Structure 1
Amino acid sequence: MKLYIDGEWLPGAAEQPVLDRWSGEQVGTVAVGTAEHAVLAVDAAERAMRRGLPVPERARILGAAARLVARRAGEFARLVTAETGKPITAARGEVDRAVQTLTWAAEETRRTAGEAVPLGAIESGAGTLAMTVPEARGIAAAITPFNFPVNLVLHKIAPALAAGCAVVLKPSEKAVLAAGLLVEVFAEAGLPAGWLNLVTGPPAEVVDAWLADPRVAVVTFTGSTRIGWELKARSPRKLHVLELGSNTAMVVTAAADVERAAADAVTAALAGSGQACVSLQRLYVAREVAGRLTAALGAAFTSVRHGDPHDPETVVGPLITPQATTALKAAIDAAVAKGARLLAGGEVVNGVLTPTLLTDVDPDGPLVCEEAFGPLLSVLPVDDLDAAIDAVNRSSMALNTAVYTRDLGEAMRFAERAQAGTVLVNMPPSYRADHMPYAGVKDSGQGTEGVRYAIEELQHHKLVVLKP
């Protein structure tokens, strides 16, 4: 795959092979871009924005792209699995969501509007007509992770184009081929040159060039907490939309449907091999039902299929790199050495970390306080709901959280007091619909995603005042 700048596929300074994460076979190559390529991409985006792209044309292109992704869904899913090791069933689900993201963006493009401002309500505004007019903030630099290499890329591209922002895209070096296929789709859908530019290569060259370029108005980033805040610190005058990490928590009270909570917890912890910022990591459970819940979880974790991600029955595949597997295995071993009890998994079989369930974990240890990003769940008994809420809120990260209870009062108390961008009741904390507002608080980020909300972030409202 080459670089894509100003409507043309260009060679990079070098090429690197792309290997299947499971088999090790080469599945493609990717060009290595440089800072010079990054600047060329901004040049192209600047020219595109000067030419403009009318709202009806933006909507038409996004709708056409949705249909093309749906038509090529199998190809996208196979690329995602090959590059990242994401189980094929999860990859197919991601592509289905990507079609929804594009469809929502096409619809929301036509709904962006300003509003009348009643300046005539005061004496100094008598005889005036005032309104706000939405305008694109400018060129958007989109920097995306490996774990959702189709849908999270589209959560950057689609709202930006809908808002009228040209895009310079840097996907994760661990997941580039799917991004290239998306660029092909937009070209086929009729997106004019310069509106979407793809530059792969070392972040120290590509991203640094965009941070230093005053023509780049927006940085929209999904990835680690550390890197996200570093990007903001290094370019404070730009607008930043940051969707960062978390150590997602769920609470099960004594009034919960325990079996339902257990089934949802398994999915929330293990889907996509646990490599999502909303993957369940901390489960706080009332002591009186902890035994039932732990038994149900242990049986489920032991029976979950793990191994070859190309197998449709596989739930847990390899982590993104062998180094990630080694690091998480070492953290599990360290926790067990300090007294944690291993109820399931904790082994590496054919390069795959088996679904891991722990209890008696140090509540101040790394498996609870840091983001694990793997198929791991810690069960932590608590005395009551207030203790659970306090434990949830002790984290410096707060994206999604959930409570399972059949007591309306408990549900309302949790919703009011839990610190999170999203609170779910009797739904897994890993839940996300692509048109809902999606945002973290504390160290989990700033700004809001979800198609309409992201469009609003990427536009400012110019005030126009008319007086005859």
Structure 2
Amino acid sequence: SNRAFAGGNGAWPTASLEARCAAVDKFATMLGTQTETIARLLMWEIGKPLASARGEVSRSLEYIKDTIAEVRRIEETGAIYTGQSGKVTHHARDVLRPLGEVLCVAPFNYPINEFLTTIIPALLMGNVVIAKTPRFGVLANQLLMDAFADAFPPGVVALLPGDGRIVLPAVIGHKTNDIFGTAMGTIDVLAFIGSEQAANAILSHHPTPSFVHKILGLGAKNAAIVLPGADLEDAAARLVKGALGFNGQRCTAEKIIFVPAGAEGDALVERIGERVGKLPLGMPWDPAAAITPLPEANKLAAMWAYLTDAVERGARIVNPGGGRGYYSLMRPAVLDGVAAGMRIYDEEQFGPIVPIVRYSDIDETLAWQVRSPYGQQAGVFGPDTTTRRALVAALTNFVARVNINDICQRGPDTFGFTAADKSGFGTLSIRAALLAFSRSVIVQSPERAAIQ
């Protein structure tokens, strides 16, 4: 990687944009031929339903195609602009240049999509990449090695398998000395998706952490708030999908639901419980399976601990058999009556539990968001009223995205994917990611012809 970047003077960072686009396009073509094999590896290794695994690969291919088109668009629209200094008119244009050597760390739940949505924009902007493969999903990532080797020059992309607690400190801790003898970290950018604790641990090994450019997707506790008058059938269908997609193992999942106290809330909880009760459990190769095995060791024990704590403090499991499971497969639990003092009221469960809180005053929901350290997204379900408008406006002060009558989600990829507070830093979307992995340089002159 050091040789490939060569302080910004290597063959890849100085290559033309068209040459970089051609290399990425070649990689995408090779990836496309491996779609089914990669999808089946995801199915076997992380328990992702086969249809969803295929969708992850195809979505990644679309992302690559759209990102190539967007970087060309950015290049073409770099217009000249002017400014006045005294009596002199200055002409300028902005050019984008790479940041340097990028360490990408991907999560296990989307080991292809989240992997490529950081690597591809980084490469297109001329950076070189060291990509740490996730704990699970490494087999699918390793299948990309030949495509990376064939499409890119040596050293431009390196895959880093192994235990992150061992290999990441060694990589991010690598350093050289500048001309004054001061230590400089080799890694210029950390693109990390995972927990805040892990991100802090990684950054603590960097020789000069204050100089690291960071793009972080961290924990989330996205709240869905259902208002009086909401379409209960529609809300129930969307919330079950949002809370339990891939067994609730999504940072964007609805991890706590607020419903009105009284009959309307009762009706919604009943609908959610009925829908969850009908979700078929099974192996990921079964087309009918909606709930599949959890890949993390001891995950069921962690989920049972949340349920036990909540039930002992007054919550109840709504759906028959909710929370029952064996080894790595668990029937989702709809947990009604969640309240302050229960662990799941504040903590991110990242699994198949749907916590429901009853509220009497809408201000209670906002108070929860204000005190939460997380700030990724929120959802509001209900008719267009002054209450909904005021709530949406208030939530924008604490989260990075508010979804109205829709689930929390990353897409469409043209929308910015970012977060506030402890949920992350930086923005990933097609355009924003390209800008995040580059720096803007101004070229200016009083002579317009000089910069045309």
TM-score by length of 2: 0.89
Deviation sequence 1:3-58 (CA, Å, 0-9, x none): xxxxxxxxxxxxxxxxxxxxxxxxxxxxxxxxxxxxxx444454896113321122
Contact 1:250 1:403 (C-alpha < 8 Å) held by counterparts: yes
Aligned match of 1:373: 350
> 1:45, 1:346 → 2: CA distance?
51
Contact 1:66 1:99 (C-alpha < 8 Å) held by counterparts: yes
Q: Does 1:383 align with 2:339?
A: no
Question: Mapping of 1:85-234 within 5 angstroms?
Answer: 85-113=47-75, 114-119=78-83, 121-123=84-86, 126-188=88-150, 190-213=151-174, 214-234=185-205
Aligned match of 2:407: 428
Aligned match of 2:425: 446
Deviation sequence 1:75-100 (CA, Å, 0-9, x none): 11111111111222222221221112
> 2:57, 2:225 → 1: CA distance?
30
> 1:371, 1:206 → 2: CA distance?
27
Aligned match of 1:456: 435
Q: 2:402 corresponds to which letter in structure 1?
A: V
Contact 1:282 1:380 (C-alpha < 8 Å) held by counterparts: yes
> 2:9, 2:58 → 1: CA distance?
30
> 2:26, 2:65 → 1: CA distance?
9
Q: 1:167 corresponds to which letter in structure 2?
A: V
Compared CA separation, residues 199 and 108, structure 1 to 2 (3 A): same
Aligned match of 1:277: 251
Deviation sequence 1:302-322 (CA, Å, 0-9, x none): 110113122121111122223
Give the gaps of 5 or more residues in structure 2. Answer: 175-184, 448-452
Distance apart, 1:233 and its partner CA:
4.7
Distance apart, 1:404 and its partner CA:
0.7
Compared CA separation, residues 378 and 144, structure 1 to 2 (3 A): same
Distance apart, 1:115 and its partner CA:
4.8
Q: 1:216 corresponds to which letter in structure 2?
A: I
Contact 2:313 2:342 (C-alpha < 8 Å) held by counterparts: no
Distance apart, 1:142 and its partner CA:
0.3
> 1:112, 1:211 → 2: CA distance?
31
1:111 aligned counterpart, secondary structure: helix
Aligned match of 1:51: 11
> 2:165, 2:240 → 1: CA distance?
38
2:48 aligned counterpart, secondary structure: coil
Aligned match of 1:324: 299
> Would you say how many aligned residue pairs link Structure 1 and Structure 2?
425
> 2:360, 2:343 → 1: CA distance?
22
Q: Does 1:310 align with 2:285?
A: yes
Structural RMSD (CA): 2.0
Deviation sequence 1:210-244 (CA, Å, 0-9, x none): 32232321110000121123334542211010001
Q: Does 1:347 align with 2:324?
A: yes
Q: Between the two proteins, what is the percent identity of the paired residues?
A: 26
Compared CA separation, residues 431 and 403, structure 1 to 2 (3 A): farther
Contact 1:340 1:358 (C-alpha < 8 Å) held by counterparts: yes
Aligned match of 2:215: 241
Aligned match of 1:466: 445
Give the gaps of 5 or more residues in structure 1. Answer: 1-40
> 1:68, 1:405 → 2: CA distance?
46
Compared CA separation, residues 362 and 279, structure 1 to 2 (3 A): same
TM-score by length of 1: 0.86
